């Protein structure tokens, strides 16, 4: 999109650390109440040489069990079309106190920690952690390291994101926040769940598509 990158507002410092504990809170729904298991059956995902770890079916990588989530939208009941009890359920069985979500295509690792005093990771912790990570800005230096074709795709993704607002003021505000990590997905912003990895039960791979 010609001329877009000339008007981009860049972060003046490198992107902040990926640990969500260091990130400011995003506006949106209140943190759900304390954990509950919910009326859901977990799907076992065997890990080589380890006791099988199970993932909540809403976050499984099978298309029929994945949350319907546009990664550009803040997670909540309305944007994800889910029973709110899903958010408060443990994301793994047995519950884990720490996981890392990897995105090999971009070399990302997203640490997820329990919030609200819970001793283990919930579904809410995962979706909120992913959202916060993807809302981190990229710097002009990071943008410049991309090739011309990638920059065109990033510009197009950025423009789609801020022009979806109906009101000019909303577009102006979102545009002023600049290019985010979510724009590096090149429009492939449909969340397709998590799958186990050979790195152990603490590491889960995130899948996404257009």
| Tens digits of pLDDT across the chain (210 residues) | 444 444 455 554 333 333 333 333 333 333 333 334 344 444 444 444 456 888 998 898 876 667 889 999 999 988 888 888 899 999 999 999 999 999 999 999 999 999 988 999 999 999 999 999 999 999 999 899 999 999 999 999 999 999 999 999 999 999 999 999 999 999 999 999 999 998 999 999 999 998
Report whether 54 contacts 47 (CB < 8 A).
no
**SS3 state at 185:** helix
What pTM does this model have? Answer: 0.76
Which residues are within 8 A (CB) of 127 and not within 5 positions of it... i.e. 6 or more apart? 67, 69, 75, 80, 87
Q: Which helix (H) or strand (E) element contains residue 210?
A: none
DSSP strand pairing (92-93 vs 108-112): unpaired
Angle between the N-to-C axes of helices 168-176 and 148-163, in degrees from 0 to 180, rounded to the nearest 10: 140
Residue with token string 């724009």: 183
Residue with token string 């943190």: 31
In this structure, the number of other CB atoms found within 10 A of the CB of residue 70 comes to 14
Here the tokens at position 60 are 């499984």
Cα–Cα distance, 137 to 18 (Å, whole number): 11
Here the tokens at position 118 are 């819970």
Q: Residue 63: what pLDDT?
A: 64
Decide: residue 78, CB within 10 A, 0-12 exposed, 13-18 middle, 19+ buried. exposed
In the chain, count of helices (H) and strands (E)? 6, 7
Q: Residue 74: what pLDDT?
A: 92
Q: Residue 160: what pLDDT?
A: 94
Report whether 40 contacts 58 (CB < 8 A).
yes
Report whether 59 contacts 67 (CB < 8 A).
yes
What is the DSSP annotation of 113-129? Answer: ---TT-SS-BHHHHHHH
Q: Residue 64: what pLDDT?
A: 67
Residues in a beta bridge with 203: 100
Q: Residue 8: what pLDDT?
A: 53
């Amino acid at each position: 999109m010609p001329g877009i990158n000339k008007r981009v507002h860049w972060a003046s410092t490198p992107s902040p650390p990926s640990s969500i504990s260091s990130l400011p809170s995003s506006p949106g729904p209140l943190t759900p109440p304390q954990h509950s298991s919910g009326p859901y059956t977990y799907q076992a995902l065997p890990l080589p040489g380890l006791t099988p770890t199970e993932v909540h079916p809403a976050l499984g990588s099978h298309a029929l069990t994945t949350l319907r989530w546009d990664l550009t939208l803040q997670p909540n009941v309305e944007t994800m079309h889910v029973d709110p009890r899903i958010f408060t359920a443990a994301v793994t069985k047995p519950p884990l106190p720490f996981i890392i979500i990897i995105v090999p295509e971009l070399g990302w690792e997203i640490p997820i920690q329990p919030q609200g005093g819970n001793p283990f990771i919930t579904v809410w912790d995962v979706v909120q952690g992913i959202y916060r990570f993807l809302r981190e800005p990229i710097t002009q230096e990071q943008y410049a390291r991309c090739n011309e074709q990638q920059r065109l795709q990033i510009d197009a993704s950025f423009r789609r994101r801020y022009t979806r607002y109906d009101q000019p003021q909303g577009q102006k505000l979102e545009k002023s926040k600049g290019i985010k990590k979510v724009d590096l997905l090149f429009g492939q912003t449909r969340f397709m769940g998590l799958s186990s990895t050979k790195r152990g039960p603490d590491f889960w791979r995130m899948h996404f598509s257009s």
